[in-house]
Structure 1
């Protein structure tokens, strides 16, 4: 088995990247796709899971909150705890944990056991996502780093905009348990691919918790993480309950929600490419534009999304807007701390997953205490603050 040298300079002498190295980058992206999909898979299945296990939709939302909270802690602690352990071994262990956790979800006889499986999913997500980008960029020479980063984080983006819709469709056509079982099976394929393709990746050094938290002293890192938190928490507060929103607000039949979320995913992929190109020119303007569009969609949904046609139209715009979020905030965080890519990515992963968890948690409280309409306005109130946060930072 070959190894990646601790210093990127060792590979910089050659611009050629072997096919196996690119396939290794793709394998990391697939792993990222699967762990992030695992985190958010219950979003489109809340109604069926709640009905089957006898819990309310708001309570079922804990299946998103629990792994999000655990992942935010895991992203902070795993890079510190693993010290100088070979990153290849760590990734294989984390993706294997995801496989086992989803198998437990498939077998869960009641809601507490299901939540326990979601706890394990959170550990896998936090560690894998935090390490993925830093590993991907070490597989290629410096001139190929932008492409490798885009591919690696393309997995997270695809999970946010495509993984959940696909899982919802599988669950709708079969059973919600089959969706978890399918994800577990795909995870086994990812384990095999990573085992074959990923070289040994020795640590460049251990990450200290204090040094990681000290990155908040960088005003650009701080601005990027605040933008991440507001955009993701606002989106997740509403998106966690997109099934009841489409059903109750737009009057859309539940059988159509799975296919419609695939349309949402397709719009998200388009948004990823558009935002990626725009962020390459001006990250701050791109994030501000995304926040304005996302806020407008969430705020207008209860007012003009009361029919199936307008509801679908707004859902497409919603996907287009959020599709640009993961790639835009990641580009900002890497530009803010180019010499601390692994630590900065871990920090942003903490915030991203904390936002998922708290967005789903408070969204559930709003749904239980008020309605699906109210959760849309709650989400809009959070995302609109992103515009202010972005423009309050100095121009990089």
Structure 2
């Protein structure tokens, strides 16, 4: 048995014999606030640009700024705070949500708004890098998939609600009120976390060298490669799903809104399903989710001109992709449970690289091949990711068990 006094970084140290579900729910509340704040400008670009005398394109860079700083902040926060109690780091990241939203509500110029969004990027990046490691320390290992499903429920709810709720608040109370309410959500999350999250002394030895060394672990390497393939494919297609819906089944703007709402709701249930099946096999679950996304792409290529088929394919896509985040995060965290924060930071950066590269590649494909070219790429990428995960991830899991 490991002496945690002598070796507090060991994987078995700092974990709990009982489940701190209230603390896990507080993480879900925090991520709900962060994701909501991150995507609020999507539905508020017009009033923001008009009020601050900006072009819509310039105002849209507030979203880019958050994403870019988030990709950098993930590893930065993990490494820079490696000697601090994780409870205080978590509370600081949630405080950044409150400060950022308050500054955004008060912004009178683009620089002030950008500062607010950069602070939010630090909060988002740091939280995502640490979320799996925190969940691992709040519940026993066999309950981690359920804990991550609860955390990702906050993401799913925010994804479904942020845009329509932001648009409604912006139209009725003004865009600044939307950020004021976001700050209020942050205050509630901060209070709940302060009362429920226990002291979590630092674990592991987070550094750039540690992150590089983790690439030497086959399960980590396979997990990150598969993530890059699947997420790039997904975002290449989903970023440009509107042109497909306009040109192939020829949906109206109102119908497209309903289809995307159905996608978001399906993603919510996919997240719950992902948490339920993750305890059996994360390798199989990731392969299943990616394979179902590939199947939805096949349906869109085969008979997407039929409205009911397009509806079914988009809903299946949402359900399938909802399965993936919980299982991907659980897979790589279990593969490096002794350095969970470091591998979480690596996964965050992989996601961001995949999102940006997928969006760029999708733009090139939609311009040169049309929407069906993008859908073809989605199917190929996700089918490839599913096969690689089954072939390589399953083999490494078997070797580890032996």
TM-score by length of 2: 0.79
Match of 2:224 in 1: 225
SS at match of 1:217: coil
**Shift of residue 245, structure 1, vs aligned partner:** 4.7
Match of 1:67 in 2: 66
Match of 1:170 in 2: 165
Q: Residues 300-341 of structure 1: CA distance to partner in whole angstroms, max 9, x if unpaired?
A: 436633455333222211111101111111222133223332
Shift in CA distance, 342/317, structure 1 to aligned 2, threshold 3 Å = same
Of 144, 150, 153, the residue aligned with 2:146 is: 150
Match of 1:94 in 2: 93
Q: Give the 5 Å matches for 1:1-396.
A: 15-16=17-18, 21-40=20-39, 45=43, 54-55=55-56, 65-106=64-105, 117-140=116-139, 144-148=140-144, 150-156=146-152, 158-159=154-155, 161-175=156-170, 177=175, 179-243=178-242, 245-247=244-246, 249-255=248-254, 260-298=259-297, 300-301=299-300, 304-306=303-305, 308-364=307-363, 374-393=373-392, 394-396=395-397
**Shift of residue 10, structure 1, vs aligned partner:** 7.5
Shift in CA distance, 234/37, structure 1 to aligned 2, threshold 3 Å = farther
SS at match of 1:73: helix
CA–CA distance in structure 2, aligned partners of residues 133 and 379 of structure 1: 27
CA–CA distance in structure 2, aligned partners of residues 104 and 244 of structure 1: 35
Larger radius of gyration: 2
CA–CA distance in structure 1, aligned partners of residues 41 and 219 of structure 2: 33
Deviates more, 1:205-214 or 1:315-324: 205-214
Cα RMSD of the aligned pairs, angstroms, is: 3.7
Contact 1:61 1:360 in 2 (8 A): no
**Shift of residue 222, structure 1, vs aligned partner:** 0.5
> Structure 2 regions of 5+ residues with no counterpart?
398-402
> Structure 1 regions of 5+ residues with no counterpart?
none
**Shift of residue 196, structure 1, vs aligned partner:** 2.4
SS at match of 2:338: coil
CA–CA distance in structure 2, aligned partners of residues 202 and 323 of structure 1: 32
**Shift of residue 354, structure 1, vs aligned partner:** 2.7
Deviates more, 1:256-265 or 1:72-81: 256-265
